[in-house]
Chain A
């Protein structure tokens, strides 16, 4: 090992100067922190302060570890780097929860989350102190070791010159001045943060400088160092993780696991990362800067370790390599700088840890104890002194541990003990943050089982090493049971003692946590506590009701002024603004006369006061103080406020729902009313006495009455009373019994006329099934009945037509024979008289034949033989055919046309028959001697129009209406089929025929035929 390069006095002077510089920086940081924050530099101070994670354990211990066990120590830094990916949601949530409740430490968090047992906070504090004091001692030891190395021990230092003592005293003063400045720990501690951040920068710069010196000042770079170390078989083992003497992957993974938890839960880390987080956005910067710092500071750890080995330094003294190598090279300045770097790493950790642990002890042990012993003890100055005293006590414990306990241990061993201890809070904290079911018993069981395993597997072997316990227990196990040997518990094959300890402690911890949480049903208080942590969580259905608190007994109400005064006494004037705001808010609400809101605010007061006081005196003391001050316990007040809020919310929801439903019902009513109104049938609702309650517009139309003329009157008003009196009773009885009746009735209108209607009656039933009355629907059957009559008439005529056609068919053949016989007879007759008789008979037979043919034409199916014809020509031909007739009657017939020719695709024979029939009627109607019949043909819009007009007597309207009715005739001869045949033939051509007649003036028959009813080429339909 190298010889000392400096005298002890010189080094102590340097230390003192450095500490004073640090004090000055802290002082400036405290004063100028607002300005730093205004420039946005506080985020970098936050990140560098968080790098207090790298202590002298990193500076010295990791090199020693690398020299002995290879690269497994990297897990301590890679684990937190990977976990940093989750910081934005995990760390941010933790920050939010802690800021919301003024939580300042892990025990405070456990008290807030698992407050069922008042001693969970004190227990956690004790365990954390037990776990962390070795770590503080480690820092002091590192200072001592490095001091001894650089200045030597031969000088026989006096007690006061002991560097550990000097550091202890100085850091005590620093902690009191910057850390214990205020009782409220949530205030930004600018001085502490700035000083710690500066130390992080100092140690990083010096470490990298030392690494560069070793790599490039002593050796020819990293490649040279690695090349040389790999040339030795032992060196090859160190250059792997798998075959490293330290247990390979088990230690590496164990380091990863505990570091992932500890990077947030170590008291100093929790204090910097969570409590002193001034802005959530700083977490984003820390997410990448912090791992970058870890990467940078670890870059030269292995090269320095391997360099020391290559220089022949003993691996067991690896902790000192970083200082020894520059000293061996005679580099005084660098050696002094390295010493200062290590010193810086140690003091930063001790400063923050002593402050964080001291406050933790004060809040969870000392202040609650003081307040319990002296109720009503309201002295801010004493409480602040208690907090500062606690910090000194923690520092003192670390110093004593360093002197008495850790002499025989290397730095890494001490650090691991602390790390594994703090990791035991991981399941309870992480689970409490995210797992609703996590309960107080589970947390306590898990922590206790974890710490028991930690003690047995890690502390006990350390005690064996320190000589406090015999070594047999390690080799043979307790009572000779090898399976219970602490470092090889149950022989699971975890060769590394650290891996063994981490596995068993965390496994049993998690097991106890989960089992304890599941085996005990969470109380309502615990559920409330989780909802306070995670407000989005819904209440647990299986939560048992908490017993009523007895704390209200003997309690008295305090006025707002009293509350303000007492809280100020505890929290000092640090909280003047916050408590003032709370009280002013309630007063304002009262002034505005919002009594209900004022009551809620006042009931909410304990929670708000708890939050304010927790930052200063811790959650336990805050609850004790408030329990004495307020008539309700915190839990009861919280429950009341939450219940009231929920009730308000429920009522608001119910109101909204009712309004919504009412709106729906109104809309439905409007819809139904609209439907009823729009129904054409008459709807009438009746009560059980048969009185009309309501009618629709259809009923008003049907009965020709207004609403008031019907409502309130008896149902008899609407149906024929005398005839249907019995029927009405049947309707009512049947509807009441079966719920329904349907049948025909005769209704009575206002003017006394009656009409047939279909009545449907149904019983109206309310939501409870009770009958309320009847509703009747009247459907007017007048049109239906008329239609039925017409159909009946048509059926009769059709039957008659068929019968007539059959008769005509049978008659036509004998008529043909008669006609033939008459012709023969006439030819043989010689006498004029006989010939005239025969001729007369022959005419009569001819008339009969016409009738028969008409009958057959009307009844049989007609097939049109269409072709293109000139309609005017057809008309002339028809008139010519009737010439003998109209000349005999002395009627003048004239055919004229507007232009022409008027070609149309028609059946020429049939259209000639149409014109013949119409003209023949006109000739017969025209007066003999002076009769005139005009036939006019015209064409327009694809139609040919044929108008036949006579100057006959015309027809009365009644006769005109029956002109197309079969078998209707006013003439002595004929069967009344001429015009029906005309209508049928015209319609077969797609045309129409109209008759207009005026008595005394004559008749006009108009036939309108489409020119191309079957398309341009004409086609048989």
Chain B
């Protein structure tokens, strides 16, 4: 898969990650390491997304 195809696939995957029903699985009462689970989920996912963006921006061809 080329860079563009990978970016499109990842966009779909992250869209799923940040949307219901996936977010619903993390959105429960309680906390992980003292941080509310849904907030931790969103920020961790976001950090992974930024890392993926940094990686894929180098893979994309001019």
Contacts and interface: CB of A to CB of B under 8 A. Distances in A.
Contacts of B62: 280-281
Interface of A: 71, 74, 78, 81-86, 88-89, 222-224, 226-227, 230, 236, 239-242, 249, 252-253, 256, 280-281, 284-285, 287-288, 291-292, 295, 299, 302
A239 B34 contact: no
Interface in B11-62: 11, 14-15, 18-20, 23-24, 27-31, 33-36, 38-39, 42-43, 46-47, 49-50, 52-54, 56-58, 60, 62
B56 to A, nearest CB: 7
16 contacts: A71-B38, A74-B42, A82-B15, A85-B52, A85-B53, A86-B7, A224-B34, A226-B36, A230-B30, A240-B29, A241-B38, A242-B38, A249-B20, A252-B23, A253-B19, A291-B49
B27 A88 contact: no
Nearest to A75: B18
A295 B38 CA distance: 15
Contacts of B20: 249, 253
Given A71-B39, A82-B11, A85-B11, A222 B23 contact: no
Q: Which 9 A-B pairs have the closest CB atoms?
A: A223-B34, A239-B36, A288-B53, A85-B11, A288-B54, A284-B57, A287-B57, A242-B27, A82-B14
A256 B18 contact: yes
B15 to A, nearest CB: 6
Contacts of A86: 7-8, 11
Nearest to B42: A74
A256 B42 CA distance: 13
Contacts of A287: 53, 56-57
B43 A295 contact: yes
B15 A240 contact: no
A281 B8 CA distance: 19
A223 B23 contact: no
B4 A88 contact: yes
B35 A222 contact: yes
Given A240-B29, A291-B46, A284 B36 contact: no
Given A71-B38, A240-B36, A288-B57, 20 more contacts: A74-B42, A78-B42, A82-B11, A85-B10, A85-B56, A86-B7, A86-B11, A89-B4, A222-B35, A226-B36, A227-B31, A236-B29, A239-B38, A242-B27, A249-B24, A253-B19, A256-B18, A288-B53, A291-B53, A295-B46
Nearest to B29: A236
A89 B62 CA distance: 10
Contacts of A81: 46, 49-50, 53
Contact of A285 (B18, B39, B57): B57
Contacts of A252: 23
A88 B38 contact: no
Given A222-B35, A230-B31, A299 B43 contact: yes
Contacts of A281: 62
Given A240-B29, A281-B62, A295-B47, A84 B38 contact: no
A226 B46 CA distance: 19
A86 B49 CA distance: 13
A288 B36 contact: no
A226 B34 contact: yes
Given A223-B34, A240-B36, A84 B27 contact: no
Contacts of A280: 62
Nearest to A286: B57
A82 B7 contact: no
B57 A241 contact: no
The binding surface of chain B is classed by DSSP as helix
A223 B33 CA distance: 7
A907 to B, nearest CB: 83
Given A239-B36, A240-B38, A288-B50, A85 B24 contact: no
B40 to A, nearest CB: 9
Contacts of B42: 71, 74, 78
A84 B36 contact: no
Contacts of B47: 295
Contacts of B19: 253, 256
A230 B39 CA distance: 12
B36 to A, nearest CB: 4
Contact of B24 (A226, A239, A242, A295): A242
A43 B62 CA distance: 16
A291 B10 CA distance: 15
Nearest to B61: A88
B11 A226 contact: no
B36 A230 contact: yes
Nearest to B24: A242
B7 to A, nearest CB: 5
A446 B38 CA distance: 36
B41 to A, nearest CB: 10
A989 B36 CA distance: 108
Nearest to A291: B50
Contact of A249 (B11, B23, B34): B23
Contacts of B39: 71, 226, 239, 302
Contact of A83 (B11, B52, B60): B11
A224 B15 CA distance: 31
Nearest to B6: A85
A82 B42 CA distance: 12
A586 B10 CA distance: 49
Contacts of A224: 34
A288 B50 CA distance: 6
A78 B18 contact: yes
A281 B4 CA distance: 15
A222 B40 CA distance: 12
B51 to A, nearest CB: 8
A82 B49 contact: yes
B29 to A, nearest CB: 6
A88 B7 contact: yes
A16 B3 CA distance: 48
A302 B46 CA distance: 15
Contacts of A223: 33-35
Contacts of B30: 230
B38 to A, nearest CB: 5
Contact of B7 (A85, A241, A285): A85
B49 A241 contact: no
A576 to B, nearest CB: 32
Contacts of B31: 226-227, 230, 239
A222 B34 contact: yes
Nearest to A290: B53
A48 to B, nearest CB: 16
A284 B43 contact: no
A951 to B, nearest CB: 99
Contacts of B23: 241, 249, 252
Contact of A295 (B7, B11, B35, B50): B50
Nearest to A222: B35
Nearest to B4: A89
A227 B34 contact: yes
A50 B29 CA distance: 36
B18 to A, nearest CB: 5
Nearest to B14: A82
Nearest to A77: B46
Nearest to B28: A240
Contacts of A74: 42
B46 A78 contact: yes
A565 to B, nearest CB: 40
B21 to A, nearest CB: 9
A288 B4 CA distance: 15
B34 A85 contact: no
A494 to B, nearest CB: 13
B58 to A, nearest CB: 8
Contacts of B43: 295, 299
A632 B11 CA distance: 46
A256 B20 CA distance: 12
Contacts of B53: 81, 84-85, 287-288, 291
B6 to A, nearest CB: 9
Nearest to B56: A85
A249 B10 CA distance: 22
